[in-house]
Chain A
Amino acid sequence: MDVDPALVRACQRGEAGALEALIRATYADVYALCRRMLADPDEAADATQEVFVRVMRSVLGFRGESAFGTWLHRVTVNVCLTALRKRSKARAAGMVAGGTPFALPGDDVDVATTTASPADLAETADLVARSEAALAQLPEDARAVVVLRDIEGLSTKEVAELLGVTETVVKVRLPRAHGRLRTMLLGPQPDEVRA
């Protein structure tokens, strides 16, 4: 999420059109992160709205000690984590209708065989679609680690800080999540040792 600092300063000065420009420049990245963290398009749209409500409330207090993109990233992750916590509570209270939308530990989901791709779909697009589907099948805590580290490009330390866990926890969750993804995307591998 790269944002021109001049645009942020223009927002803080209340210049006409600056806020709109800031939203246009960042909303797609914010939505993509929410979509992958939450694995639900409607919840991702709601979370994106919440992120920008927070941005509009707090942009005046942003002092530029870190890059605006980093700050926005942190706000987005916090909103997603809050949404996930609410979802867990709702699920625990039996308020979520239908089955669990995510695989539970021990479930075997084979996206490589269950997702049929159109024959004329480009190979890369197919790979992305299957990868997104596999990612959505991961448990929430594992998905958060994969999204932040492997897709958003954060370091293990940064991921640990954002999620409020130790680096060791991230280093344990990541190989497990990758193992599940490899199985879902590439099929089972008999010689694979479960981490």
Chain B
Amino acid sequence: MSADAGTGPRFCREAQAQLPFLVSGELTGWGARVVRAHVRRCDRCGPQLARQEQLASAFTSMRAAPPAPPPGLLDDLLSRAHGGKLRERAAVPARGALSGARPAMSVAFLTVGAAASTGVGYAAYRGARWALAKRRR
């Protein structure tokens, strides 16, 4: 925004473009002061600020009165939630009931455990065979 005389159609256009942000409080500091000062003494932009405030009031009323959902929508949503696969998916616990681990962690623990068990078993087998061979000699 130019900091010239603060008059003229161009300045009015820039000031009016800032009105939504001024009214909502998003425009603060120096910018807000410049726009307010212009609006106070401009015959064109003064009424626009009042209109913007009316629009903001309409938004507030709209927030307080959201459109009501159609009557059958909740039943449809609940029947989908009750039915079939979605329900089963939602019923799977996200974490292990005892360990508290996530499913991916549980799979990782099981894989590492199985590999370690196999390794230990194989080492025991090789050790037993070596011991038997030594005794035969």
Contact = CB atoms under 8 A, between A and B. Distances in A.
Interface of A: 11-14, 19-20, 23-24, 27-29, 31-32, 35-36, 41, 45, 48-49, 52-53, 56-57, 59-60, 124-125, 127-128, 131-132, 135, 150-151, 153, 155-156, 171, 174-175, 178-179, 181-182, 185-186, 189, 191-195
Interface string B105-120: 0000000000000000
Contact of B94 (A13, A131, A181, A186): A13
Given A60-B92, A193-B13, A32 B66 contact: yes
A175 B17 contact: yes
Interface string B36-48: 0000000111011
Contact of A20 (B20, B24, B59, B81): B81
A65 to B, nearest CB: 14
A186 to B, nearest CB: 5
A56 B89 contact: yes
Interface in B65-105: 65-70, 73-74, 76-78, 80-82, 86-87, 89-95
B26 A155 contact: yes
Given A14-B93, A60-B92, A191 B62 contact: no
